[in-house]
Amino acid sequence: MGEKMFELALKQPGCFGAESTRDTEGVGITVSYWKDEQSISQWKANVQHLAAQRSGMERWYEHYELRVAMVERAYSGPKGRPELS
């Protein structure tokens, strides 16, 4: 389901991209990047996403955390060019 939601998020209007990783015990983090609050709200209201969230709460996760944050700048090396604008 995680992979399916990852791919679905990338197809949503306003999604700049996403990154995901898991350790050997299955603990993971996924970060998605969005154009604006409206894009985030539309993703939150996506029917398939809502169903996946419900399944996660009922079947898979004992605990999860969600953070919404604004990225002011992002740089990559070696020349430090901005990735997001």
Number of compact structural domains in the chain: 1
Output the domain CATH number for residue 51.
Answer: 3.30.70.100
22: β partners: 28
> How many residues are there in the chain?
85
Cα distances (Å, whole numbers) of residue 34 to 12, 44, 60, 65, 76: 9, 12, 26, 18, 19
List, for residues 38-75, the tens digit of each pLDDT value: 999 999 999 999 999 999 989 988 888 888 888 888 87
> What's this model's pTM, rounded to 2 decimal places?
0.76
Does residue 85 have a pLDDT over 80? Answer: no
**Confidence (pLDDT) at 54:** 93
Residue 25 CA, chain-centre distance (Å), reads 20
Domain span at residue 23 reads: 2-82
